[in-house]
Chain A
Amino acid sequence: GQSLEQPSEVTAVEGAIVQINCTYQTSGFYGLSWYQQHDGGAPTFLSYNALDGLEETGRFSSFLSRSDSYGYLLLQELQMKDSASYFCVKRDAGNMLTFGGGTRLMVKP
């Protein structure tokens, strides 16, 4: 089964802020990444949290709390082009990535 859980779908309006949560049942991993994938496209890297806390990259921020087995991706000032699937990804030794099931974000006007 999935060791990373995230909502399957989220809907928000343009200009809003949305948070996509990720909970996991694993330990001893190197960090948590987030990848974006548009329909028909390839996954592209958004952010990586090796340590607890917040990482900010422009409109996107990602957070990790190992003690709570929890992380999230925060998207601000949503744009229509942000409509995509977002994957929470666990990084292990050997740069092995384990993907969550993905959250489909739909941004509406």
Chain B
Amino acid sequence: DTAVSQTPKYLVTQMGNDKSIKCEQNLGHDTMYWYKQDSKKFLKIMFSYNNKELIINETVPNRFSPKSPDKAHLNLHINSLELGDSAVYFCASSGSGGAGETQYFGPGTRLLVL
């Protein structure tokens, strides 16, 4: 059973395009996250949602817009894609968002902008 799933797994697109990545978790968790991992493997949080409400919004260009239709889903829409957006994007979830909660990561979406 997949706990945290993301689609697509790979995404190759042209600069300037708009694309979306979807994330779903079946763990019954209240909190979901988006992370970006660059080519040097540096992993940085982008957004966090708790029960469909935005909790963490790090310094991310406003071309990135998360949307949470319900607490099991957190999608990431990216407008006007740039070369520097090429990275692996990980979705994660945790129970109530408390400091002691383990985060469970999805398999990642490998985005390549040409």
Contact = CB atoms under 8 A, between A and B. Distances in A.
11 contacts: A30-B100, A31-B100, A33-B102, A41-B107, A42-B107, A44-B105, A48-B102, A50-B100, A95-B31, A95-B94, A101-B40
Interface string A28-46: 0011010001000111110
B99 A92 contact: yes
A92 B97 CA distance: 11
A70 to B, nearest CB: 20
Given A30-B100, A43-B90, A96-B48, 15 more contacts: A30-B99, A42-B107, A43-B105, A45-B103, A45-B104, A48-B102, A91-B100, A94-B48, A94-B56, A94-B97, A95-B48, A95-B99, A96-B56, A97-B45, A101-B40
B99 A102 contact: no
Interface in B77-102: 90, 94, 97-102
- Which DSSP category, helix, strand, loop or mixed, fits chain A's interface? strand
Q: How many interface residues does chain B have, given as a range?
A: 20 to 34
B106 interface: yes
Contacts of B56: 94, 96
Interface residues of A, number: 24
Nearest to A45: B102
A7 to B, nearest CB: 14
A23 interface: no
Question: Which of A45, A92, A95 lies at the interface centre, i.e. has the most chain B CB atoms within 10 A of its CB?
Answer: A95
